[in-house]
Amino acid sequence: MRGQDQLSFEAYAAGCERRLYRTAYLLCGDRHRAEDLAQTTMAKLFAHWWRASQMENLDAYARTVLTRTFLGEQRRLAVARRLGMLASPPEISPGEDSDLRVTLLNALAELPVRARAMVVLRYWEDLSVETVADLLGCSTGTVKSQCSRALARLREQLGESSPYLPA
């Protein structure tokens, strides 16, 4: 990588690192794993910076890389669990987080992987249905129906009047 490209990558990485980490944390619910996901995403961006830097919306491209990295990792973990190579995922422990945050993260963790990704991208990242569909390689109808079902499950778990769910 040339000096100017490296400087532009470093500037971009410094600016988006926290945002990628937050999204990764919402997707997986684990601090260390979120750090790994964000770091893997940055490594992939770095490896293909010549192409990534040409993107019209670099943040959307980075989110796509992050989401697909997460989904791929989830598939590999699921296969490993089925083969008995890994134990079940650990429960999210409170640690420093408030009870409400832990409750919300536990409720998100109960959702299927793709539904959780859709909810995080749609409502946390505030992306349009079309953008989420493009990111995940599915139809807009799939995003709408999966988000609707996921929100219904979250309302069941958190209660109908939860201030953390969209109206």
pLDDT digits (tens, 9 = 90+) for 9-56: 899 999 999 999 999 998 888 899 999 999 999 999 999 898 888 888
Measured N-to-C along each axis, helices 140-158 and 99-109 cross at an angle, to the nearest 10 degrees, of 130
Q: Residue 125's closest CA among 45, 34, 23?
A: 23
pLDDT tens by residue, 92-137: 454 444 666 777 788 888 889 889 899 988 888 888 999 899 888 8
Q: Which residues contact 95 (CB under 8 A, 6 or more apart)?
A: none
Confidence (pLDDT) at 86:
55
Q: Which amino acid is at 26?
A: L
Q: Which of 29, 21, 23, 158 is nearest to 94 (CA)?
A: 29
The pLDDT value given to residue 160: 63
Q: Please report the pLDDT score of residue 1 as a whole number.
A: 53
- How many Å apart are CA 2 and CA 50, to the nearest integer? 10
Domain annotation for the chain: domains and CATH numbers: 1-90 (1.10.1740), 94-167 (1.10.10.10)
**pLDDT tens string 63-75:** 999 999 999 888 8
Q: Over range 148-152, report the average pLDDT.
A: 91
pLDDT for residue 89 is more than 60: no
Nearest Cα neighbor of 42 from 76, 66, 15, 67 is: 66
Q: Per the confidence metrics, is the pTM higher than 0.75?
A: no
Closest CA relative to residue 110, chosen from 164, 69, 150, 165: 150
